Amino acid sequence: AQSVAQPEDQVNVAEGNPLTVKCTYSVSGNPYLFWYVQYPNRGLQFLLKYITGDNLVKGSYGFEAEFNKSQTSFHLKKPSALVSDSALYFCAVRDPRANDYKLSFGAGTTVTVRA
Amino acid sequence: DGGITQSPKYLFRKEGQNVTLSCEQNLNHDAMYWYRQDPGQGLRLIYYSQIVNDFQKGDIAEGYSVSREKKESFPLTVTSAQKNPTAFYLCASSIDWGRQAPDTQYFGPGTRLTVL
């Protein structure tokens, strides 16, 4: 079975400081990993994904994520946070060996960036 | 949200009534999905469809039904059998299904259903 955990319900940072949103996963093989962002009462927007290759993945809006197989983690990072980055962030995982090809989402992390 | 529309944005239903949520996409995507979002629980898959006239149950299909008569449309019916239907419902689509490399799912703006 595949699953993903976001250990922090909330992350608070000051504008201009680095932002990290944590994600750990559990799959039987090599995972496919995704990050999405959701603004209030809106759908999810795709940020980036990891399939294979370079462990550092760069995505939209200056975000990047680092895949760490030994720690089974895929943390989302941004070097300098903006107030407009305040939103709900979801990590998702898929086991490519599973027959159903479903995405499993974490519970989400609320990011607040203060001016 | 571009390319996937959901209507209505807000929906109110009395207990015992069925209600249908609309999802339309103009991205020419083969696969479509319905998720339910509850606070603190992330997204849970209700149904998904790889191709027209075919769909599969997700993790929480009980009390829901779908149809896929056209490639661009994937309506979801919340039936009176659904015990706790108040939630935010999200539709998504992806370009393909079943390839080695997963395609990104793109989401609509959502429908907030409230049972009165």
Q: What is the pLDDT of residue B101?
A: 60
Give the residue among A14, A15, A75 at the shortest CA–CA distance from A47: A75
Contact A42 B41 (CB under 8 A): no
| Nearest CB partner across the interface for B107, out of A43, A96, A108 | A43
Token digits of residue B23? 């999802």
* % of chain B with per-residue pLDDT over 70: 93
Which residues from chain B sit within 8 angstroms of residue A35, using beta carbons?
A: none
Residue B84, number of CB atoms within 10 A of its CB: 9
Mean pLDDT of B5-14: 93
Between CA A102 and CA A93 the distance in angstroms is: 9
Cβ A106 vs Cβ A91: under 8 Å = yes
- CA A42 to chain CA centroid, Å, is 18
Nearest residue of chain B to residue A7 (CA atoms)? B40
Neighbours of A60 (CB within 10 A): 11
Dihedral Cα B6, B30, A107, B12, nearest 10 deg: 20
Q: Which residues of A touch B (CB under 8 A)?
A: 9, 32, 34, 36, 41-46, 49, 51, 90, 94, 96, 100-103, 105-108
Asked if residues B32 and B92 have their Cβ atoms less than 8 Å apart, the reply is yes
* B91: CB partners within 8 A, 6+ apart: B4, B6, B21, B23, B25, B32, B33, B34, B35, B74, B76, B107, B108, B110
Give the model confidence (pLDDT) of A59-76 as tens digits.
999 999 999 999 999 999
**Rounded distance between C-alpha atoms, residue A103 and residue B87, angstroms:** 19
Over range A93-114, report the average pLDDT: 87
**pLDDT value for B95:** 84
Q: Who wins on pLDDT, B24 or A97?
A: B24
DSSP label of B41: S
Q: What is the pLDDT of residues A10-38, one digit of tens each?
A: 999 999 999 999 999 998 888 999 999 99
Please give the C-alpha separations between residue B92 and each of A1, A44, A89, B4, B112, in angstroms, as whole numbers.
22, 9, 17, 7, 15
Average model confidence (pLDDT) for chain B? 90
* Structure token digits, residue A98: 């599973």
Question: Can you give the pLDDT at residue B97?
Answer: 55
Q: What is the pLDDT of residues A31-48, one digit of tens each?
A: 999 999 999 888 899 999
pLDDT band with cut points at 50, 70 and 90 for residue B108: very high
Is there a contact between B4 and B25 (Cβ–Cβ < 8 Å)? yes
